[in-house]
Chains A and B, each alone.
Chain A
Amino acid sequence: MNALVLLPIVIPLTASAVAVLIRAHHRLQAAWAFGAMLSSFICSGALLWAVWSSGAPLVYQVGNWAAPFGISLVGDPLSALMAVMCQLVLTGGFLYALGCRDQCAQYPAFYPLFLMLAGSLTGAMLTGDLFNLFVFAELLVFSGAALTAISDDKFGTEAAYKYFYISFIASIALLLTCGSLYASYGTLNIADLARRIAADPSPPLVLPAMALLMVFFMVKGAVVPFHFWQPDFHTAAPTPVHAVLSSVVVKLGIYGFLRMTTLLFTEQAEVIRSVLVVVGAIGAWFGGLGAVGTYDAKRMLAYSTLGQLGFILVGIGWGTPLALSAALVYAFNHSLLKAAMLMLAGSVASYAPVKTAAFTAITGLGKKLPLAGVLFMLGGMGLAGIPPLNGFVAKFMLFSSGLDARAYPSLAAIGLAGIVTVVYVFRAFQRIWWAPLPEGVKPKPYGDRLLAPAFLIALSVILGVWAEPLIALSQTVVAWMTSPEQYVRAVLGG
């Protein structure tokens, strides 16, 4: 039963190795990889169901080594929810890759790399060991950078190089954290560390370790002072890849901050929270204004990710149970919506005579794509937080938790920044769907299929109209998160 934690990690990684072996048969490889994605999604769903219905986390000790000595994989409510979110969007991204006309999706290495990305991201969410987190994060960066470097865009390699270089520096920060914490406490198991740090926060290396771990998660989550790689990366990456990277891979940072404030550094959480509120509010403005001022639809959505992550970080920074559950719901919804919006932008770009998402090239192309227009409109309403979509539910929860926490300055800052969202989303809509097609531009007759974004948008409409299950789930997760001793007991036993 506890092996259920292992399955969402092992299935994609094994399938990735097998997919390399069957690279000569492209269709077989695609079917195999899609089957693996679907089954690991189902396994992560089963994991969440098992955790939710039993109320106890599933812990798998790799190799049967007892907890603080071996590597533990922990499926507690938070990581199970995150794993389901990742697998859902990754499956959507894979679906898009199957129907996409990019040359790079035909390469024999594409599906294995995509599966590796899926396995390592889920692994990073489910692991209970700091060094294992480093291993999975490195695997994530390798596969993400390789998938970008093979992009059809001629600047793909440049973007991948920037991403890889900055992520490598983040990994160095994580290794320094591992060394500092190991020197202080002699363990790298997160539960054991949490217990020991709470018992004795005096060793001098604890605060540097905390700062370096924050740097790591900020780079992973493209939080504002460490966001440099993100807009460039998303301009050049292939559509299925950046739809996944901009929506769920950045959530690794969100997950990390949730873990840091509620489990690892509960004593020092106030410091982390105040930093998060500041960088979140700056990020909401910076991302919003950056999105308004940009020249490319994909780049606009990349900046928009910076802004939306700002909202989530402010929610984590407020730190009340309501704000935490709002941040979780927001993160879930943002993953669905942003993946769908990036897929739609990529799909429109695939109709352009020369494949690019620059506004000068895609103005007026929407006349041929009324369905994409409807979906983009719905997604934009979700991002801006207009009622029938789930974005409204998330924003409403976030703002009411801010009122509840009496954090008026930061609430005013992100409330005003929310208006900017409306500006850039509808400006993009106008340019693509309302403006007339310029003279002499001949769109391609075929482009990427819209099945995957339609699926994700439909899901977010359903979650907007019928929001109770997700909210109840997030409240369960938060109730679990706010008592870290349960996590420690579940992992270490006793």
Chain B
Amino acid sequence: MEVLLALTISVLFATGIFQMLRRNLIRSVIGLSIISNAINLFLLASGAYQGEAAAYANAAGQRSDALPQALILTAIVISMGGFAVVLSMLYVLSVRYKTSDSDEVKGLTH
């Protein structure tokens, strides 16, 4: 289970970073969203820091640490708000600049 979780986190991270480095603004925001989900999984994994009582496979008699799950809940809510803000700004940008190419959004560089 741990190997699977580690692989999932790494794949999500790699996909997220690849998307963030694209020139398309929308893709880069989607990359950010993928990375923040990878972080949530990472926080979940940090709750099983003794390697025995895992959050995701609760064996009989063992309890997993509940705090990281509370942290994830907070982080999910905050990132949801963040994406609402960033997508609304992206909408304004796309209306104003008529493009989603990050190289064309350069009103402030002289």
Contacts and interface: CB of A to CB of B under 8 A. Distances in A.
Interface of A: 131, 134-135, 138, 142, 145-146, 149, 154-155, 157-161, 164-165, 168-169, 172, 175-176, 178-180, 182-184, 186, 232, 235-236, 295
Nearest to A162: B108
Contacts of A142: 81-82, 85
B86 A179 contact: no
A160 B86 CA distance: 9
A176 B81 CA distance: 19
Contacts of B49: 182-184, 186
A157 B46 contact: no
A149 B39 CA distance: 27
A159 B35 CA distance: 23
B71 A164 contact: no
Highest count of chain B CB atoms <10 Å: which of A165, A232, A235, A236: A165
A172 B89 contact: no
Contacts of B86: 161, 164-165, 168
B14 interface: no
A400 B89 CA distance: 47
B99 interface: no
Contacts of A180: 46
Interface in B43-58: 43, 45-47, 49
B35 A172 contact: yes
A334 B74 CA distance: 35
B39 A168 contact: no
Given A135-B74, A161-B86, A183-B49, A236 B108 contact: yes
B6 interface: no
Contacts of B75: 134, 175
B37 to A, nearest CB: 11
A146 B86 CA distance: 10
A145 B89 contact: yes
Given A135-B74, A175-B75, A232 B108 contact: yes
7 contacts: A134-B75, A138-B81, A154-B96, A155-B107, A164-B85, A179-B45, A235-B108
A175 B39 CA distance: 7
Highest count of chain B CB atoms <10 Å: which of A180, A183, A235: A183
Interface in B26-42: 28-29, 32, 35-36, 39, 42
Contact of A135 (B67, B68, B78): B78
Nearest to B32: A168
B5 interface: no
A145 B35 CA distance: 21
Q: Report the 8 A-B pairs with minimum CB-CB distance, sorted nearest first.
A: A183-B46, A155-B107, A179-B46, A232-B108, A183-B49, A157-B92, A161-B89, A179-B43
A9 B32 CA distance: 30
A184 B45 CA distance: 12
B39 A176 contact: yes
Contacts of B28: 165
Nearest to B40: A175
B78 A158 contact: no
Contacts of B105: 158, 161
Contacts of B65: 186
A110 B86 CA distance: 18
B110 A295 contact: yes
A160 B89 contact: yes
B59 interface: no
Given A160-B89, A175-B42, A183-B45, 11 more contacts: A134-B75, A138-B81, A161-B90, A164-B82, A175-B43, A176-B39, A179-B43, A182-B68, A182-B71, A184-B49, A186-B65
Given A138-B78, A165-B32, A158 B85 contact: no
Contact of B36 (A145, A146, A160, A172): A172
B7 interface: no
A279 B68 CA distance: 34
A256 B42 CA distance: 24
B81 A158 contact: no
A183 B46 CA distance: 5
A457 B92 CA distance: 38
